[in-house]
Structure 1
Amino acid sequence: MTEPADAREVFPPTLREVMLRPQWIGVLLLCLVVAGVFAWLGQWQLGRAIDTDPPPPGATEVVRPLEDVAAPGEYLPEPLVGQRVSTEGFWLPGDFVIVHSRFNDDVEGYWVTGQLRIAGSEQKTSVAVALGWAPTLAAAQAAVDELDREASTPVKTPVEVTGRLISDEGPVPPPRDADPQTLTRMSPAALLGQWSDVEGLSVYRPYIASQEAPSPLEDISSPAPAAGSTVNWLNIFYAAEWAIFAGFAFYLWYRLARDAWEKEVEDLEPEISPESRG
């Protein structure tokens, strides 16, 4: 004898059955693609995290031509920060600028900087140079006056400058109540605003800290850079983040499929017999 329709047992689908439905297989394939992209990004970050070809010890102490190390307008790569370089050029009179709050062996003082116009360059090119250190503002100003007089001579002889190539420190506002032109950071970008003859000028982003200061300035204390680690932990952290995102793509698929299954079971509850629930 056939049972009445309302007496038939209704069995809810299992979570596995829901996950194997075509629409959820399609969502899983989409998540696989997303996770694959995240995994590739993580591998790319790992490749950048470990320097497989670090510069040999003492490489920064070998004097190299400036044009072989950097190009005008380009940022200085991390392995080359502190590289000793040399170049030739002419000082531009009137462009010797004092930078405040510079320390020499823990003693605060001033740097005298200048615009060195590169000699023999096809395009008008300059590099900022920190020539030397002075303990007082008066001594720094006296050095500026003397350098201006020497640079203003009719016959100009190229000067050779050797020193460490250092990244731009970035401009900052002057201290409160100070002259608006006051500089407390060695920034070629900020110095450019005080230089003359800058139309069509190409400028190096890093600056040179000269190893020998003209009298009466003192040599700038610029020791060799410490050997850096070959592992970039920030990139490793990013790689771990991409791995977590890849795992989250699969969790999202599971969570969505489970929510759909729970909703389906909830909708079927009025039709489920007590025996099928147990």
Structure 2
Amino acid sequence: MLRTALRPRLLGLLALMVAATVGCGLLASWQWDRAHRALTSRDDAPAELGDVRDVLEVGGAVTNDIVGELVTAQGRFDPAEQVLVAGRRIDGTEATVVVTALHVDLDDGTTARLPVARGWLPTAEVTGADGHLDPSLAPPPPSGEVAVAGRIEASEAASDGIEGGVATEIATPQLVNEWGAPMYAGYVAQTSESAGLSPMPAAQSAFSRGLDWQNIGYAAQWILFGAFFLYLWGRSVRTAYLDELADQREALERELDGGSVGGSDTAPATSSAATPTADKDR
């Protein structure tokens, strides 16, 4: 099989497969490095990035470089733009998060909405007599100019819509349809005290929860791809080797068949020649 593997065509295929495997290894290393940075950054204390207007553009994506870091914002809460986000479990309690729009004045004179998760409270405290969530039972936001401090988080994936002031995710695509634009693409999870609400716990965003495992999975996939390329080359060598053995076997069988046919033609001729001689002697 070694002689087959050293043939020029298969050596060229090997070079191609090795190049593909090296490329997969580099991509796997890159994904692993991203996962390692994400995990390391979570072990460190959140960085204070300053005013949200200097950190994130309106409508700009919340990247892994800033997600979970601390920002500040100044503006005015709009009590009419507030939703309850149910279905959370915080500190072993069925919890509901209160999200309110903070109107932030931009440098160009316009105003943008910044969703702020002001805090959470037990779901029972905002459940009406009919057993459904009642947004009117949530603590109202403070009035006037306020300063907010919290973690910048990426929008959660939108699945269901907002009905009666109740949502299942903190999803800015849903909120912009409900409240209007312009709006920041992420939201701020408030870490400072708010009347009637407990501060938000760390990392409610599905983006920040899953990114490290996602990158680790990608790294494993690239390693498997690289191993598969080498497997293909080995399979190609084995197939070529077996094909050569089959060709040699067929050639040998043809030679043996040819010898057998020649021997059978000679035997009857000898027999027929001997018969008249025997008759003549008699």
1:259-274 paired onto structure 2 within 5 Å: 259-273=242-256
Q: Relative to structure 2, which stretch is displaced further, 121-130 or 54-63?
A: 54-63
How does the TM-score come out when normalised to structure 1? 0.68
- SS of the equivalent of 1:134 reads strand
In the alignment, structure 1 residue 188 sits paired with structure 2 residue 163: no
Deviation at 1:221, TM superposition (A): 3.9
Q: Which has the larger radius of gyration?
A: 2
Q: How does 1:235-246 map to 2 (within 5 A)?
A: 235-246=218-229
Q: What's the CA shift for 1:244?
A: 0.8
Q: Is the 8 A contact 1:134 1:140 kept in 2?
A: no
Q: 2:187 maps to which residue?
A: 207
Once residues 12 and 52 of structure 2 are traced to their aligned partners in structure 1, the CA distance between those partners, rounded to angstroms, is 53
SS at match of 1:234: helix
Q: Relative contact order (C-alpha < 8 Å, sep 6+): which is higher?
A: 1
Answer yes or no: is the 8 Å Cα contact 1:60–1:224 preserved in 2: no
Q: Which amino acid aligns with 2:177?
A: G
How is 1:143-158 mapped onto 2 (pairs within 5 angstroms)?
Answer: 143=138, 146-147=140-141, 158=145
The residue number in structure 2 matching 1:50 is: 33
- The answer (yes or no) to whether the contact 1:110–1:140 under 8 Å persists in 2 is no
Using a 3 Å threshold, how does the CA distance of structure 1 residues 27 and 69 change in structure 2: closer, same or farther? farther
Structure 1 pair 239/129, CA: closer, same or farther in 2 (3 Å)? same
TM-score by length of 2: 0.67
Pair 1:187–1:18, CA change in 2 (3 A): closer
**1:66 alignment partner, one of 43, 52, 56:** 52
Deviation at 1:181, TM superposition (A): 6.1
Secondary structure, counterpart of 1:132 in structure 2: strand
In the alignment, is the contact (CA less than 8 A) between 1:98 and 1:140 conserved in 2? yes
Specify whether residues 106 and 18 from structure 1 end up closer, same or farther in structure 2 by C-alpha distance, changes over 3 A only: closer
Q: CA RMSD in A?
A: 3.8
Structure 1 residue ranges without an equivalent (≥5) = 1-14, 152-156
Aligned counterpart in structure 2 of residue 99 of structure 1, from 85, 88, 91 = 85
Preserved contact between residue 51 and residue 72 of structure 2 (Cα < 8 Å)? yes
Structure 1 residue 92, shift from structure 2 partner = 3.6
Q: Are the aligned partners of 2:120 and 2:198 in contact in 1 as well (CA < 8 Å)?
A: yes
Q: Distance in 1 between matches of 2:212 and 2:88?
A: 30
Which amino acid counterpart does residue 136 of structure 2 have in structure 1?
Answer: Q
Q: Which amino acid aligns with 1:260?
A: D
Distance change >3 Å, CA 44–CA 220, structure 1 → 2: same
Shift of 1:64: 3.0
Contact 1:31 1:250 in 2 (8 A): yes
Q: 1:43 to 1:210 in 2, by over 3 A?
A: same
1:33 aligned onto 2:16: yes
Shift of 1:60: 0.5
Cα distance in 2 between the residues matched to 1:130 and 1:19: 63
Change (3 A) 1:75 1:98: same
* Matching residue of 2:263: none
- List per-residue Cα deviations over 1:101-126 (Å, max 9, x = no partner): 33443222322211223322446533
Q: Alignment partner of 1:60: what SS?
A: coil
